Amino acid sequence: MKVTIPSYHLRPSVEADHDAIAEVWHSSASLPDVGPPVMPTMNELRERVDLAFAAGWEVTVVARESRVIGFVAIKPREAILDQLFIRPGFLGYGIGQALLGHAMKAMPEGITLFTASSNARARAFYEKAGLIFLRDAPHPRTGHPVTHYGWGGR
């Protein structure tokens, strides 16, 4: 069976994307073992999106036609990849690799990030991409187990 890879493009986010970013974040983080044990509501995540932008998030979205299907949020001054999510149904097409590659180019000196320790798919993705396990620790807000990774730059 032939699998069709969806066409997509990366672009800087605009304020009109905030709802779609929250929707992608909520739908993806709601998948089993991806997000926190108690998932924030869509409205709570939407509020967090605005707060994160105000605090310095730089976000690149992946769009297919006019629909946002993924995003990466970075904090370049802190060298942090803060969020990387892809809408369910679009996993496995190289979109995550494109977003991670974008983050690495934006922060060529290196990055750190964390993901839910239960998120085996994300952990395998980061390890395959060459990120190094740093430590396990509780999530700073919710306390659930997260795994920290780092990439030392080029």
Q: What is the pTM of this model?
A: 0.92
What per-residue confidence (pLDDT) applies to 1? 45
CA 109 to CA 97: how far, in whole Å?
18
**Per residue in 101-128, pLDDT tens?**
999 999 999 999 999 999 999 999 999 9
Q: Across residues 40-60, what is the average pLDDT?
A: 95
- Average pLDDT across the chain, whole number: 92
Domains of the chain: residue spans and CATH? 9-151 (3.40.630.30)
What per-residue confidence (pLDDT) applies to 37? 82
**Per residue in 77-108, pLDDT tens?**
999 999 999 999 999 899 999 999 999 999 99
What per-residue confidence (pLDDT) applies to 4? 58
Confidence of residue 5 (pLDDT cuts 50, 70, 90): low
Q: Residue 128: what residue type?
A: K
Q: Tokens 């709802």 sit at which residue?
A: 19
**CB-based contacts of 126-134 (< 8 A; 24+ apart in sequence):** 126/100, 129/97, 129/100
Confidence of residue 135 (pLDDT cuts 50, 70, 90): very high
CA 62 to CA 70: how far, in whole Å?
5
